[in-house]
């Protein structure tokens, strides 16, 4: 089966102000794919490059190199400045972390939801009104709230406006950049259930960016673990959580409170390798890894398959 979204060796660097010739390697050789109707999580601590990768896939910024293939379309061939007007724009939508920041405070919920539909699809006035009502209902947003502005809505209601906005152009892929991070735990569960319902009902593919493994468990069948711009482990969520293979993944899993593992946590300390001009001939986790060997300091591990569906970048 051909993947709906296929990412190959994607790279993005940013020049460092005040340090001529130095670059921050935000995304450095990332490859993965997502099938139609699949929910894939991208996890890692703050600063590892998750949001930059999301913006690359959403074509909000251009990569330095690599491929982004969507339904057979080479998206890298379309510059980000032109992608907003390309027909493919409607098929890849993004839900941002703080829905309130992505809604014009002058707009009602109805106007905010209508804006991307009007810009990316051809609709009559009646068709636009019907589509707004349809996606608002899909997002669980009552009709009575559609004429309120953002400051009149709760956090959960604003999150639903953001979801309805993303659903409006009828996308195939939703990129979710920590969409529940600003919500109360009880509201998080409702929004996550909504995403899963939408995936099942509409056949949506989801790329869910998060640093919260507890949240990821509720939504995603497959997980990609990112560290300093690179994928260090990937595999089915259940397998990865039950038996993490990379020391960094193990530390992430151990950080999730679990009374059954009391006293068994792997703690990481030490110095973080800088993402500014990182060494090409060493593991980027070596300064914090409790099991590092000499080889880790002289040879960068490649992401390789260690069993069907499981990939790990670790010499051990």
Spell out where 124-180 has E strands.
173-177
Tokens of 3: 């993947």
Residue 185 burial (CB count, 10 A): 9
Tens digit of pLDDT per residue, the chain (316 long)? 578 999 999 999 999 998 998 999 999 999 999 999 999 999 998 889 999 999 999 999 999 999 999 999 999 999 999 998 888 999 999 998 777 777 888 999 999 999 999 989 888 999 999 999 999 999 999 999 999 998 999 888 998 999 999 999 999 999 999 888 777 888 888 888 999 999 999 999 999 998 888 888 889 999 999 999 999 999 999 999 999 999 999 999 987 766 555 545 556 677 788 889 888 899 999 989 989 999 999 999 999 999 999 999 999 9
Instruction: Write out pLDDT tens, residues 200-246.
Output: 999 999 999 988 888 888 899 999 999 999 999 999 999 999 999 99
Q: Report the DSSP pairing between strands 23-34 and 39-43.
A: unpaired
Distance from C-alpha of 251 to C-alpha of 265, rounded to nearest angstrom = 7
pLDDT of residue 264: 53
| pLDDT of res. 259 | 53
b/e 248-260 (16+ beta carbons within 10 angstroms → b): bbbbbbbbeeeee
Q: How far is CA 168 from CA 49, 92, 164, 226, in A?
A: 28, 11, 6, 30
Please tell me the distance from the alpha carbon of residue 30 to that of residue 310, in angstroms, as a whole number.
Answer: 16
Contacts of 8 (CB under 8 A, 6+ apart): 31, 66, 67, 69
pTM for this predicted structure: 0.91
Q: What is the DSSP letter of 140?
A: T
| Predicted pLDDT of residue 46 | 87
């Amino acid at each position: 089966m051909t993947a709906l979204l296929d990412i190959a060796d994607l790279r993005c660097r940013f020049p460092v102000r005040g340090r001529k010739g130095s670059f921050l390697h935000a995304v450095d050789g990332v490859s993965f794919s997502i099938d139609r109707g699949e929910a894939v999580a991208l996890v890692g601590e703050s600063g590892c490059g998750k949001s930059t990768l999301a913006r690359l896939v959403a074509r909000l910024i251009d990569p330095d190199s690599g491929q982004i293939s969507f339904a057979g379309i080479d998206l890298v061939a379309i510059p980000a400045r032109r992608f907003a007007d390309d027909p493919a724009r409607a098929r890849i939508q993004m839900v941002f972390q703080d829905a309130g920041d992505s809604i014009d405070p002058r707009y009602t919920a109805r106007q905010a939801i209508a804006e991307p539909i009007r810009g990316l699809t051809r609709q009559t006035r009646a068709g636009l009104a019907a589509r707004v009502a349809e996606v608002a209902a899909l997002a669980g947003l009552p009709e009575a709230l559609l004429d309120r502005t953002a400051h009149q809505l709760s956090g959960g209601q604003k999150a639903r406006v953001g979801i309805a906005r993303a659903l409006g152009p009828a996308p195939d892929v939703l990129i979710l950049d920590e969409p529940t991070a600003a919500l109360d735990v009880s509201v998080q569960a409702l929004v996550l259930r909504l995403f899963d319902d939408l995936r099942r009902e509409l056949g949506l593919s989801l790329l869910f960016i998060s640093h919260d493994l507890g949240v990821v468990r509720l939504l995603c069948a497959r997980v990609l673990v990112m560290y300093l711009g690179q994928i260090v482990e990937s595999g089915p969520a259940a397998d990865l959580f039950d038996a993490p293979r990379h020391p960094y993944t193990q530390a992430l899993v151990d950080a999730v409170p679990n009374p059954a593992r009391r006293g068994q946590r792997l703690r990481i300390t030490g110095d973080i390798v800088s993402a500014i001009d990182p060494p090409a001939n060493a593991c980027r986790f070596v300064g914090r890894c409790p099991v590092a060997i000499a080889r880790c300091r002289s040879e960068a591990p490649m992401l390789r398959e260690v069993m069907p569906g499981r990939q790990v970048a670790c010499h051990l």
